[in-house]
Amino acid sequence: MTVSSSARVNIVAFIAILTLSAATMLWLFWRFPLMTAIITLGIFLGLSVLARLARWIDVDITDLDPTKQRV
């Protein structure tokens, strides 16, 4: 199967962004180890809180349908 040039560009861009992100994180961790660790843990904590809130407020779309009556 052939891959189109736009798909190749997307893959290369994705790998470049991941590489740049990893290099930046490694440089920050090398230069400022304690502050980088604290901020990273804070971000992970914030994301986990947001994931729990998303599950808590999740609504089934059929519950919002006014045509269906509950008995």
Domain boundaries, position 38: 5-64
Task: Look at residue 50 and tell me if it is in a domain.
Answer: yes
Task: Look at residue 71 and tell me if it is in a domain.
Answer: no
Task: Look at residue 49 and tell me if it is in a domain.
Answer: yes
Task: Look at residue 70 and tell me if it is in a domain.
Answer: no
Put simply, whether the predicted model's pTM sits higher than 0.75 gets the answer no
**Number of domains making up the chain:** 1
In tens digits, the chain (71 residues) has pLDDT values of 566 888 899 999 999 999 999 999 999 999 999 999 999 999 999 999 999 998 888 776 666 666 766 55
H/E element holding 9? helix 5-31
Task: Look at residue 60 and tell me if it is in a domain.
Answer: yes
CA torsion 26→32→37→39, rounded to 10°?
A: -110
Task: Look at residue 59 and tell me if it is in a domain.
Answer: yes
Instruction: Look up residue 38 and give its two tokens.
Output: 């604290």
